[in-house]
Structure 1
Amino acid sequence: MSQHRFLPMTEQDRKEMLELVGAKSVQELFADIPESVRPKNPMRIQPALPEAELVNYFQSLSNQNTSIKSLPSFLGAGVYDHHIPATVDAVISRSEFYTAYTPYQPEISQGELQAIFEFQTMIAEVTGMDLANSSMYDGHTALAEAGVMAASHKKMKRKKLLVSSTVHPEAIDVVQTYVNGPGLELERIGSKNGCTDIGALTQSIDEDVAAVIVQYPNFYGGIEDLEEIRKVSEEAGAMMIVKSNPLALGVLTPPGHFGADIVVGDTQSFGIPSQYGGPHCGYFATKKALMRKVPGRLVGQTVDEDGQRGFVLTLQAREQHIRRDKATSNICSNQALNALASSVAMTALGKVGLKKVALQNLQKANYAKTALQNAGITIVNDGPHYNEFVIDVGKDVRQVNEQLLEHGVIGGLDLGRFAGETETHMLVCVTELRTKKEIDQFVSALEEIK
């Protein structure tokens, strides 16, 4: 068997190439590199395996993983286990879509342009906003872009952003990274009973605050009082930015109805598997007055010279297309394929289906919360929740999750991994896919472990 198992090259090929360039060996090709920086010994790499053995080896490693396909999972925190209609893969697997690039030529890109337009339309309807862009990388970066956009708005010129501590900690980290560039200040507002402390917000907000950033439902599953937050923001002349799970808006009043200026989030709940690290699909919705400040691109509807409906790239406010000093963002792509997956999933659900699935998330989480309380498990911040809530398991969550695995259950998120959080607090998520039997199994296992 050839030493170069995965390369279409024989030893004779190697010999002929060396002869052609006038070298006696491969080592001679590196003669110009000083010996002092050359490795003295061969790298400690095991011999190459034949393809069949290599596949078996990696399969054995894969078998060590714990999968949500085989065990009920109560993990959430921004990556959720939802049903994905079979039509999603069927549509996004078409080569016209999965090989598509930026639709610069509308004459040959009507399918891709219409798919993006439909995504924008559905996001605008779900969030209650005037318009949405063609998508962002993910929910966290969309939130960061929203903060920078608010601060750079010509009518604002303010240098401070207030972010609720009930926003996802990793999202806050991303926002902090983004605002460091333009020299903006990011100040955190404390929480009270698992939601934004309105009193603390009122004391902190001033005329230098460009926007107040909240999450709805928040990181802990709590339902923020957007009406009161909007009132405080408006009195100070600041924008209200809301990071929202779009599926939850099937039962919750959309942020746009509370007067939100910008609504962002992640459409992973619609047709995108819960994958380690992504990819996801962010969305960015706003008011019409802010349309020209929106990062990325917008697809618009028009008519051709024959009066036929068509779609075109309407706005592209990035530095590749306009003057750098006029650009609103350096985002160089969108998540068009994942946006299409979300569009197909939302279409398959429809308005009635969206509400039904959202309601199932709400009801099943409430059933789990009640069952845990009856089992003697402490519910932290026992207020209104969507499909996530925090429990106190009384011991290190990492140990509890290891024990839950032995009971055939994937536990919730260990909040102790985040600064300022308690090591005994677990964020539990219950989606429509969790059955009563699985929830009861989770409760019983926790009761036994405790």
Structure 2
Amino acid sequence: MRYLPLTPEDRADMLGVIGAGSIDELFVDVPAVARRSEPVDLPHHAGEIEVERELLRLSRRNRSAAEGPFFVGAGAYRHHVPATVDHIIQRSEFLTSYTPYQPEIAQGTLQVLFEFQSQVAALTGMDVANASLYDGSTATAEAVMMAQRVTRKNKAVLSGGVHPQYVGAVETLAHAAGVATLRLPAAIDAEDAVIAAIDQDTACVVVQTPNVFGTATDVTKIAEAAHAAGALLIVVTTEAVSYGLLKSPGAMGADIAVAEGQSIGNGLNFGGPYVGLFACKEKFVRQAPGRLCGETVDADGKRGFVLTLSTREQHIRRDKATSNICTNSGLCALAFSIHMSLLGEQGLRQLASLNHQKALATAKALAAIPGVEILTPRFFNEFAVRVPKDAAEVVETLAAHGVIAGVPYSRLEPGAGLDDVLLVAATETTLDTDITFFAKLLAGAVQ
């Protein structure tokens, strides 16, 4: 039975109240190229068995990242996830738990989130962290909105090294909130350009390290320039494993640190669900989005946990809410915490070191190929390569031989004039034979 509660007259009345002439006018902000003029080319109906068979057929067209040499990064990374992680998150008390609306009877869930927050604060070098956001890109957008509230300024400067899709998320939210954004041109090493763009109207400066091209940067000078202008520094990290080797955002003067936590405890999963990390200085905590769990003692002096801050619009704050984030990535955050607990500080450092070693070996092998140039001056486990052909074509050529060579930058930012740039990532899952085969095929493809 179809559920269509509104009549054409009801819809006409609703459109009249809001002053729209047609339903199409509700979608004027959606680019024409993104709209369909006709229904999706799918069967109108089919039986359950037929649907299951068709979806199975489609799934067989996918290729697992574990099936061969895989050098894709650009914000999503293949790492080994211990079987212990999946075993624990499959327990019913974790798998089915939701947001703790009744904190007094959700002590286990609150403790998990508290431990997660403690880990994120330690990793980022910040004072406090929230109970997670949806992913790294939405965390970045929320950080910009938070900076506008704190500084009461209305301009965000975004480095040319920030992932273009993160920039897109920021611009979408900023446009709706009336916050101006200054996006600098794509740059492999963007420190000087960022500092030059800061002025007295700047609410925040958004930088990424390692950036989308893999460049690792000490952003201390950018922090000093931002603070001198009364702006906040937001540091973005898309590869959380890098925290095990690089200086933390807090140590470099960040006011807000955001990251994508997928690399720790979470598989690639065809793009989600992922887990956004969000941390800040304690003095800004009341402007932080999402929720924050805290530790306390009960009437008998026993250790307990509470929902300390939750200033979203569904609660009492209403229009004064710091965001409309409705929940946290609870299960993904739990997977993150389990993996971090298994690694410990020493294990994370060892994992990060192994990632860097694999990337160095890959870069050395590719740099030996005539016509191939390593563009990234200093990197963790990802770097940009210039090839003498269209990078997208090179990727397709190598994919036909079983090697997923990386991400063409043109896929992230078409029209940027970087069609010959390929983003290559290597992790602890990269084998020496993968590197050798990749270099051999690339040498043939670029001749």
Bucket of the pairwise TM-score, normalised by the shorter protein: 0.7 to 0.9
Match of 2:137 among 137, 140, 145: 140
2:243 aligned with 1:249, yes or no? yes
Q: Measure the CA separation in 2 of the matches of 1:117 and 1:357.
A: 24
Runs (4+) of structure 1 moved beyond 6 Å? none
**Who is 2:207 aligned against?**
214
How far is 1:196 from its partner? 1.3
Structure 2: gaps spanning 5 or more residues: 9-40
Deviation digits for residues 290-322 of structure 1, max 9, x if unmatched?
011110100000011111111110011111112
Amino acid at match of 2:390: D
Matched AA of 1:391: V
**1:404 corresponding residue in structure 2:** 398
Cα deviation, 1:93-134, whole Å, max 9, x if unaligned, reads 111111112112233211111110010000000000001000
**Counterpart-to-counterpart distance in 2, 1:372 and 1:92:** 39
Change (3 A) 1:47 1:120: closer
Judge which range, 387-396 or 183-192, deviates more: 183-192
| Corresponding residue for residue 157 of structure 1 | 152
In structure 1, the partner of 2:178 is: 183
Q: Is the 1:415–1:421 Cα contact (8 Å) retained in structure 2? A: no
After the TM superposition, which residues 42-441 of structure 1 pair with which residues of structure 2 at under 5 Å, given as runs?
45=43, 48=46, 51=49, 55-153=52-150, 156-190=151-185, 194-198=188-192, 200-244=193-237, 245-417=239-411, 418=413, 419-441=415-437
Where 2:65 maps in the other structure, the secondary structure is coil
* AA in 1 matched with 2:437: Q
Question: Which residue of 1 is the match for residue 440 of structure 2?
Answer: 444
> Is contact 2:206–2:233 with CA below 8 Å preserved after alignment?
yes
SS of corresponding position for 1:152: helix
Partner Cα separation in structure 2 for residue 208 and residue 227 of structure 1: 21
Quote the residue 2:22 is aligned against.
none
Q: Deviations over 1:164-188 (max 9, x none)?
A: 0100000001100111122111012
Q: Deviations over 1:261-285 (max 9, x none)?
A: 0000111001111022311110110
CA RMSD of aligned residues (A): 2.2
Distance in 1 separating the partners of 2:43 and 2:378: 55
Amino acid in the other structure paired with 1:133: N
Contact kept in structure 2, 1:127 and 1:246, CA below 8 Å: no
The letter for the 2-side match of 1:424 is D
Give CA-to-partner distance per residue, 1:5-46, whole Å, 9 cap, x none.
xx9xxxxxxxxxxxxxxxxxx9xxxxx99xxxxxxxxx9948
User: Whole-Å Cα distance in 2 between the matches of residues 58 and 288 of structure 1?
Assistant: 48
Summarize the Cα distance change of 1:45–1:377 in structure 2 as closer, same or farther, 3 Å threshold. Answer: same
User: For residues 382 and 313 of structure 1, do their structure 2 counterparts lie closer, same or farther at Cα, with a shift above 3 Å needed?
Assistant: closer
Counterpart code for 2:169: V
Contact preservation (8 Å) 1:191, 1:197: no
Q: Tell me how far 1:66 sits from its aligned partner.
A: 2.0
Partner residue, 2:11 = none
Provide the secondary structure at the position in 1 that maps to 2:194: helix
SS at match of 1:247: helix
Scaled by the length of structure 2, what TM-score is found?
0.87
Following superposition, the deviation at residue 380 of structure 1 comes to 4.1
Cα shift at 1:327: 1.1
Q: For residue 271 of structure 2, give the secondary structure of its aligned residue in structure 1.
A: coil
Q: What's the secondary structure of 1:210's corresponding residue? A: strand
State the identity as a percent.
Answer: 44
SS class of match (1:187):
strand
Q: Is the CA contact (8 Å cut-off) linking 2:292 and 2:307 kept in structure 1?
A: yes
Per-residue deviation, residues 233-272 of structure 1 (Å, max 9, x unmatched): 1221211100113210100010101111000011100111
SS at match of 2:214: coil
Structure 1 gaps of 5+ residues are: 1-6, 8-25, 27-31, 34-42
Q: Distance in 1 between matches of 2:92 and 2:403?
A: 38
| Bigger radius of gyration among the two | 1
AA in 2 matched with 1:187? L
Task: Please give the alpha-carbon distance, in whole angstroms, between the structure 1 residues aligned to 2:45 and 2:140.
Answer: 47
Q: Is contact 2:407–2:422 with CA below 8 Å preserved after alignment?
A: yes
Measured after TM superposition, the shift of residue 54 of structure 1 is: 5.5
* 1:346 maps to amino acid: M
Cα distance change on mapping 1:243 and 1:382 into 2, 3 Å: closer
Deviation at 1:48, TM superposition (A): 4.4
CA deviation vs aligned residue, 1:174-220 (integer Å, no higher than 9, x gap):
1001111221110123465x12141x333321111011100011011
Paired residues of 1:196 and 1:224 also in contact (CA < 8 A): no
**Structure 1 residue matching 2:269: 3-state secondary structure:** coil
Q: What amino acid is aligned across from residue 149 of structure 1 in structure 2?
A: M
1:10 paired residue number: none
